[in-house]
Structure 1
Amino acid sequence: MTSTITDFSAKEPSLGYFYQIKYALLVLLSHSKELDNPKVRIENLDDIEIEDINTLQLLQTKLHIKNKANLTDSSVDFWKTIRIWSEYINNGTIDLDSTIFNLITTEEIPESSVLHKFKKNITLDSEVLEVIKVLDRIAIESTNKTNEKAYLAYQSLSLENKKNLIKRIRILDNSIAITEINDKIKKELIFSTYPSTIDAFLEILEGWWFAKSIENLTSQIDNISSSELQLKIANISDSFQADNLPNHFPIQLEITDEDVESLKERNFLKQLELIKIKANSRTLKRAISDFRRAFEQRSKWLRLHLLNPDEEEQYDVKLFNYWKNIFDIMCDEAEEKSIEELIELGKGFYLEQFAKSCPQIKIREKFNEDYLTRGSYQMLADSKKIGWHPNYKEDL
């Protein structure tokens, strides 16, 4: 058996980005209880930035997965962060009097380190001056080339600004690991859904959060607000009620010609071929999209135990009964028709009844997504339980 050496140094930065985005969600959830409609920005002034009408908090997140080391006085993580904050103070980017500076790290601060003092608020002037004395000495005497620019940035601060900065720094060490962050988020959501559906709930919320984070990172939106997050949570909560279901596949799929080619032997496409729906047409590609979304959605509901198999079966019965009623009417009209007329009759039946419009048959009262109905009909067509051409059973 070949052994593989895992390169943590390559994985760490990638996981760091995921950690940062997940931590931003946790921060907004937890701070929404105490701040006035706070707003989060990612990779703006800092890794995470949260502000309300009165305060701005900058959060620098440091994830380490290879070794759980100590955060020492000369730590690169600490001094790199100090450099960023010092430059913001010097160039007037931030208002020092209304800003709180947070360093979130999975490392541990030993009690012997001056950084240990930042685990709580430093308020006494004597203690502030003591910390400044130690940091000044490190900045002057250290030969660490990696921290050189950080030392210079810190030393360029006035004594008054150093005092204000020291009073406003908070370090949270031994922070939650990336494998633990979901549990913390779920605790914040504990009253948003049933205990049995919390994992499914978080999966939907995370999907939305990552999409919003990308919009923020690409400057499509300026921030993500607490009120927006609250509205989304309420919306997801509603989808988990007894008369509703969550929608995991809200976006129409882009179907390529290659997708069509790979599925050409499926019965539901052969059924459309019988009524001369053109290969690679938008109508046919829409049918494939509906089929895939409905299949994946129904499978996901069953896998997450959100849908009872009996309920799914009853839904298919309702779909079949509706189809059978109008199919029989079409078949009455099909008597003594030519081959070409039968094709046209079947094509009109499909387009008018199932493509241009959609039967209002719901799996649950408040779930109103047409793709589920249309796609479920394609699934029934794939199993030959229904069809569009009057003679589909004989012609397939």
Structure 2
Amino acid sequence: MGKGSHSAAPNAIGYQHQTWWALVELLQTGASRPDAALSLELYDDVAWEQAGTATELLQVKHHIGEHRSLTDTATDVWRTLKVWMDEASPSDPAGPALALVTTETAAQGTAVAALCPHSRDEAEAKRLLEHVARTSTAQLTEKARAQFLGLGEADRLTFVSRIRVIDRSPHIQDVAAQVKERLHWALPPGHEDLFLAMVWRWWDETALALLQGVQRGVDVGDAQAAIADIRDQFTRENLPTLVELADVNAGELEQTYRMHPFVQQMHWVAYPPRNLQKAIVDYYRAYTHSVRWLEEDLIGATELTRFENELVDEWEREFEWMIDTLDQDADDDAKKTAGKQLLRQLLGQTSLAVRSRYNDPFFARGQRHMLADTGKIGWHADFETRIAELLKVAT
């Protein structure tokens, strides 16, 4: 679609901004309400609840361009008021707090300015809104203005007293900087961008679950624990998992790696097809992590080599036991069976880890396949001869 008047881009940006800004809200005010939970599109654009009851509703408005002026006649204002009059029991003094969060700037001398924290005057805000409700002729706000005037005098004041306006909210392109600022205490030196990317991934997955209704809200404590867990992956005893299983297309990888030596090695011992496909995924993830960890300076080549040597040593011990149990005149079927058992046994081993607290099993499994790919280890009793033929190199 071109840049015509019916472009959906502003609305799409607005929805994305609402989702991203919710993370700012979570980080910004979550510490002051540790027992609360934040939701998306449940009670309002964004909302806080405690013990299953909404305590604050937030309408989030984004406008492309520089901070524009927000006045009392703005459609945003009256649409927001109508949502709250319809959904938030405007006459109830014990109802949830109401916040209009906008990238625009509240114009001086307006009701919206009188509802900003730094210049709050609820009586003046009520008076100015009543004036606009009576004098404006805008058709788009007509129903909302009539509904506002239909509230009793005391109810209008109660309603207005629950409202606050947060103007000059950051634009969508500035939200990431806001999140970074609020997470400054957790940034791992030298890995700030990777850490923030992992936080954003966690939040995007959480936000999707909230929007799909899979998850009702995100508890402040759970959010703090999730971010702390991400930060913990950057300690000397741990490492971050950067490629999740859900990121991988197993079918495509199978086609890409089907002729690799480590795959051929598994064919030589008749490894089951579905487990072979999973092994290819392990190989890809382990290889990708090795490269990215090195690129991000999260691990050194010496440390990876030491881990590989430990895996080779473990394999040497078990491979010799396998050979020792085979008869001298064992046929290929017996060798296949023994090799398959060895492969299954070693892939199930979880005692060896690249770091003491990094225990995601895919990495050790994938590293074994990487070693098998170079011919350093194998499963079939005659793998060395077959690898030499496969790679056309002398043994």
Q: TM-score of the superposition, structure 2-length normalised?
A: 0.86
Q: Which runs of 5+ in 1 are unaligned?
A: none
Amino acid at match of 2:367: S
Residues 70 and 104 in structure 2, CA contact (< 8 A), matched pair in contact too: yes
Q: 2:341 aligns with which of 340, 343, 348?
A: 348
Cα deviation for residue 39 of structure 1 reads 1.1
Residues 248 and 297 in structure 1, CA contact (< 8 A), matched pair in contact too: yes
1:49 aligns with 2:40: no
Amino acid at match of 2:334: E
Question: In the superposition, relative to structure 1, how do residues 254 and 298 fare at CA in structure 2: closer, same or farther (>3 Å)?
Answer: closer
Cα deviation for residue 66 of structure 1 reads 4.5
Match in the other structure for 2:193: 199
Summarize the alignment of residues 271-282 of structure 1 with structure 2, pairs less than 5 Å apart. 271-278=265-272, 281-282=273-274
Summarize the alignment of residues 291-310 of structure 1 with structure 2, pairs less than 5 Å apart. 291-310=283-302
1:285 aligns with 2:282: no
| Offset from partner CA, 1:23-57 (integer Å, 9 cap, x none) | 22221222233224221011112111013479812
**CA RMSD of the aligned region, Å?**
2.9
Matches of 1:234 and 1:337, distance apart in 2: 55
Q: Which runs of 5+ in 2 are unaligned?
A: 391-395
Summarize the alignment of residues 220-235 of structure 1 with structure 2, pairs less than 5 Å apart. 220-235=214-229
Amino acid at match of 2:108: E
Amino acid at match of 2:234: F
Match in the other structure for 2:366: 375
Residues 253 and 281 in structure 2, CA contact (< 8 A), matched pair in contact too: no
Residues 86 and 157 in structure 1, CA contact (< 8 A), matched pair in contact too: no
Match in the other structure for 1:102: 99
Question: In the superposition, relative to structure 1, how do residues 14 and 269 fare at CA in structure 2: closer, same or farther (>3 Å)?
Answer: farther
Matches of 1:157 and 1:321, distance apart in 2: 80
Matches of 1:64 and 1:215, distance apart in 2: 26
1:170 aligns with 2:164: yes
Matches of 2:246 and 2:73, distance apart in 1: 52
Match in the other structure for 1:77: 76
Cα deviation for residue 150 of structure 1 reads 2.3
Question: In the superposition, relative to structure 1, how do residues 13 and 261 fare at CA in structure 2: closer, same or farther (>3 Å)?
Answer: same
1:311 aligns with 2:308: no
| Secondary structure of 2:309 counterpart | helix
Amino acid at match of 2:183: L
Cα deviation for residue 271 of structure 1 reads 1.6
Cα deviation for residue 119 of structure 1 reads 1.8
Matches of 1:252 and 1:392, distance apart in 2: 33
Cα deviation for residue 140 of structure 1 reads 3.0
Matches of 1:121 and 1:287, distance apart in 2: 60
Residues 62 and 102 in structure 2, CA contact (< 8 A), matched pair in contact too: yes
Residues 47 and 54 in structure 2, CA contact (< 8 A), matched pair in contact too: no
Matches of 2:94 and 2:292, distance apart in 1: 50
Residues 36 and 220 in structure 2, CA contact (< 8 A), matched pair in contact too: yes
Cα deviation for residue 240 of structure 1 reads 2.1
Matches of 1:302 and 1:22, distance apart in 2: 30
| Offset from partner CA, 1:211-241 (integer Å, 9 cap, x none) | 2222222223322111111222332233222
Match in the other structure for 2:26: 28
Residues 101 and 170 in structure 1, CA contact (< 8 A), matched pair in contact too: yes
Match in the other structure for 2:85: 86
Matches of 1:130 and 1:144, distance apart in 2: 22
User: Which sits farther off after the overlay, 79-88 or 334-343?
Assistant: 334-343
1:238 aligns with 2:225: no
User: Which sits farther off after the overlay, 177-186 or 253-262?
Assistant: 253-262
Amino acid at match of 2:361: D
| Secondary structure of 2:56 counterpart | strand
Aligned residues: 384
Amino acid at match of 2:238: N
Amino acid at match of 2:342: F
User: Which sits farther off after the overlay, 381-390 or 247-256?
Assistant: 247-256
